[in-house]
Chains A and B, each alone.
Chain A
Amino acid sequence: MNEIFDKLLIRFLFTVFICLGLLFYKYAHVLFYPSQKKQILKKIYPSENYVDTLHVFSRLIGIALIFSTLEFNEYIGFVQSVLDFFILGTSGIILYLLSLYILDNIVFYNFEYKDEVLKKKNAAYGIVSFAQAICLAFLVRSIFKESEHSLIILFILWLFALVLFGFSTKLYPYVSKLSFNSLMIQKNLGLAFSYSGFLFGTTLIIMASFNHEHHDLISYCIQVVLKTLLGSLIFPIFRAGVTQVFQITEAPQSGAQTDTPHLGYGIYEGSVFLMVAMLTSIIIGQIHFGTIYPFF
């Protein structure tokens, strides 16, 4: 019975630790958005500003996603497991928050959180911000798995993943006919769906690129670059295939006069980006070639 209580206590302790992680985010939010200090520290009324709710809770979902990859193995020693859990958990949150901060400055370099979320209640900003937070959480989670509990490798891979992701966000004008800045100002939902699909798709491709065996870091990074490059070669083929098979006429201007201009086109683009990225990730991540070594 004592053993059962002991295990339950450990689980409770870890639950408290994860809650502390969420508290950590609350104050980190103040650091990232100092002008909105009062906003996050006071009570949140989700129904008052759904865009802010989306914005805040996307980050909390992200933190939960990162924590979901951590493990506690009591059999390697209680203290060591606690330390491992604590160090990796804290590193994960810090890296995730840094990623959010950097990507916010890359993607929303023309927009202010205060203006778009608190004043204008820009739903497009909220949706893109949500997608970005979830994508970054998946990326950090993915490199967590690949780093195999090494903080140095984790840091290097995080930098590497962030560069790839940051660079890929800048490729949106090459794959979409929607203008990010002008439509974002207009709170266009079509753009939000399109860009979110693009971000999810990019994340899937980068995650697939990172997902392979590694023996040394340099050759691993080379393989990641090659796979990402391969992804950029396969992606347009799938997209052209879908467009041809379903006879899709890509004209973002049609429907521009409706209440929600470009919504249909944005949903189409977002869905196609996501679907094509999934198919691309099969090609780059799930086709394995043999080597000479089983034979020689």
Chain B
Amino acid sequence: MNLNKLIIYCLLLLAYLGLSKSLSPSEFGISYVFNEESLSSLIRGAPVSVILVDTHSTGFIIKTYYQKYKVVYGFQTYEEIIVRTSRAFTTKHEKFIGMSIFRRSEDLNESFTPLPPGSVFIGNRDFGRWRNTQKGKVWSFYRAYRYIPQYTGLRGFNPTYSFYQKIQQSLRENKPFYGFNDEFGTEGSITREQFPAFFRKGRNEKINLKDYFGDFLKKNFRASRGTL
């Protein structure tokens, strides 16, 4: 009898898990990205730059990880997508907020080296040109593509020719490039300015027990005196 009950309980458990997985609304519409290849298959079109703009985890013991990407296309407006990711993939990219983690050029070459956002468009003669200034050669987008710096988070930043060369070198060596002064990436000043959502207060905020009990006593003390 006990064994029968155990079997029924296990069947109920399986039914619950199966139904939750297949019917739960929270499972709908979110793709799962567990490695670079799955990210590549998710992103269509070229040229395109995928910028990691935010990351978040839910759950207490068994965590679910999410990443938010800004997908900037060369010939159309950008789109933002949220994906579920693996822990390893999230951990791997935790230092690359505000950076391009995937790009596909017009000739369909793909690369996953973390680079400053929109680096696929820098140096591409279809989108802009090098201008000679007092600081040397500086990349300037054509008027038709003036929205790209805005979309990619490069607004106010003028990529120099040496910056471009460093990007190419990082691509060849498959090493992340955070900018000459570490302006990009999770700790970067430009990232902090262009992607403020990630740094907003309240995310992973640790509770201060002293403040918590202080507030609690303060509220209750006030309430007991008839003030709110």
Q: Which residues of A contact B25 (CB under 8 A)?
A: 219, 222-223
Determine the residue in chain A with the shortest Cβ distance to B23. Answer: A222
Check A225 for interface membership: any CB of B closer than 8 A. Answer: yes
A-B contact pairs, 13 of them (CB 8 A): A174-B5, A222-B24, A222-B25, A226-B24, A229-B12, A229-B19, A233-B12, A233-B13, A291-B58, A292-B66, A295-B54, A295-B197, A296-B68
Q: Which residues of A contact B68 (CB under 8 A)?
A: 296
Rounded to whole angstroms, the CA-CA distance of A132 and B20 in the bound complex is: 31
Check B26 for interface membership: any CB of A closer than 8 A. Answer: yes
Rounded to whole angstroms, the CA-CA distance of A289 and B61 in the bound complex is: 13
Q: By the criterion CB–CB under 8 Å, are B82 and A292 in contact? A: yes
A residues 251-296 in Cβ contact with B at 8 Å: 289-292, 295-296
Count of B interface residues, CB-CB < 8 Å: 21
Q: By the criterion CB–CB under 8 Å, are B9 and A289 in contact? A: no
Check B203 for interface membership: any CB of A closer than 8 A. Answer: yes
Rounded to whole angstroms, the CA-CA distance of A128 and B177 in the bound complex is: 74
Check A230 for interface membership: any CB of B closer than 8 A. Answer: yes
Q: Which residues of A contact B222 (CB under 8 A)?
A: none
Q: By the criterion CB–CB under 8 Å, are A292 and B56 in contact? A: yes
Check A169 for interface membership: any CB of B closer than 8 A. Answer: no
B residues 47-71 in Cβ contact with A at 8 Å: 54, 56, 58, 66, 68
**Other 14 A-B pairs with CB < 8 A, given A226-B24, A292-B56:** A222-B19, A223-B24, A226-B16, A226-B23, A229-B12, A229-B19, A230-B16, A232-B12, A233-B13, A233-B16, A292-B82, A295-B54, A296-B66, A296-B82
Determine the residue in chain B with the shortest Cβ distance to A295. Answer: B56
Q: Which residues of B contact A232 (CB under 8 A)?
A: 12
- Checking B19, B66, B82 against A225 with a beta-carbon cut-off of 8 angstroms, the contacting residue is B19
Compute the total of residue contacts between A and B using a CB distance below 8 Å.
Answer: 44
Check A166 for interface membership: any CB of B closer than 8 A. Answer: no
Using a CB–CB cutoff of 8 Å, the interface residues on chain B facing chain A are: 5, 8-9, 12-13, 15-16, 19-20, 23-26, 54, 56, 58, 66, 68, 82, 197, 203
Can you list, as one digit per residue, whether each of A230-249 has a CB less than 8 Å from chain B (1) or not (0)? 10110010000000000000
Smallest beta-carbon distance B156→chain A, Å: 25
Count of A interface residues, CB-CB < 8 Å: 17
Q: By the criterion CB–CB under 8 Å, are A236 and B82 in contact? A: no
Smallest beta-carbon distance B12→chain A, Å: 6
Rounded to whole angstroms, the CA-CA distance of A222 and B21 in the bound complex is: 12
Rounded to whole angstroms, the CA-CA distance of A180 and B105 in the bound complex is: 74
Can you list, as one digit per residue, whether each of A146-188 has a CB less than 8 Å from chain B (1) or not (0)? 0000000000000000000000000000100000000000000
Q: Which residues of A contact B8 (CB under 8 A)?
A: 174
Q: By the criterion CB–CB under 8 Å, are B16 and A229 in contact? A: yes
Determine the residue in chain A with the shortest Cβ distance to B13. Answer: A233
Given contacts A233-B13, A296-B66, contact A289 B58 (CB under 8 A): yes
Q: By the criterion CB–CB under 8 Å, are B54 and A296 in contact? A: yes
Q: Which residues of A contact B12 (CB under 8 A)?
A: 229, 232-233
Q: Which residues of B contact A296 (CB under 8 A)?
A: 54, 56, 66, 68, 82
Given contacts A222-B24, A233-B9, contact A295 B203 (CB under 8 A): yes
Rounded to whole angstroms, the CA-CA distance of A219 and B29 in the bound complex is: 14
Given contacts A226-B19, A236-B9, contact A292 B24 (CB under 8 A): no
Determine the residue in chain A with the shortest Cβ distance to B25. Answer: A219
Q: Which residues of B contact A289 (CB under 8 A)?
A: 58
6 closest pairs, A vs B, by CB?
A: A219-B25, A295-B56, A229-B16, A222-B23, A292-B66, A296-B68
Smallest beta-carbon distance B13→chain A, Å: 6
Q: Which residues of B contact A291 (CB under 8 A)?
A: 26, 58
Q: Which residues of A contact B9 (CB under 8 A)?
A: 233, 236
Rounded to whole angstroms, the CA-CA distance of A226 and B20 in the bound complex is: 7
Rounded to whole angstroms, the CA-CA distance of A247 and B19 in the bound complex is: 36
Determine the residue in chain A with the shortest Cβ distance to B204. Answer: A295
Determine the residue in chain B with the shortest Cβ distance to A215. Answer: B25
Determine the residue in chain B with the shortest Cβ distance to A232. Answer: B12
